[in-house]
Amino acid sequence: MLVLDEPSSALDAATEAHLWATLRREADAGRGVLLVSHRPSARSIADRVVALRPVPPVFEPASQVPEPASPLPEPVDGTGRGEGRS
């Protein structure tokens, strides 16, 4: 079982895509993968999504997850962290 909390938080887009592909292969091979992420791109590999906000909490398949009404702005400081985020 892999348990990952924000594994892509400091990754560039190409490395993030590689991580998602690797995790998808692991899941397809029968390994359990539990992933916590704020990034919408994480939905691309999910079989099930649990959203912790005031919407219906579980979506199966993951493709049924609605897009966020107002996505967070992209970080502008080049560090992968937005101002005020940790």
Q: Where are the domains of the chain?
A: 2-64
CA–CA gap between residue 10 and residue 16 (Å, rounded): 9
Whether 18 shows a pLDDT value over 80: the answer reads yes
Q: Which residues contact 68 (CB under 8 A, 6 or more apart)?
A: 40
Q: Are 23 and 44 in contact (CB under 8 A)?
A: no
Whether 8 shows a pLDDT value over 60: the answer reads yes
Q: What is the CATH number of domain 2-64?
A: 3.40.50.300
Whether 26 shows a pLDDT value over 80: the answer reads yes
| Mean pLDDT across 57-75 | 57
Q: Are 69 and 39 in contact (CB under 8 A)?
A: no
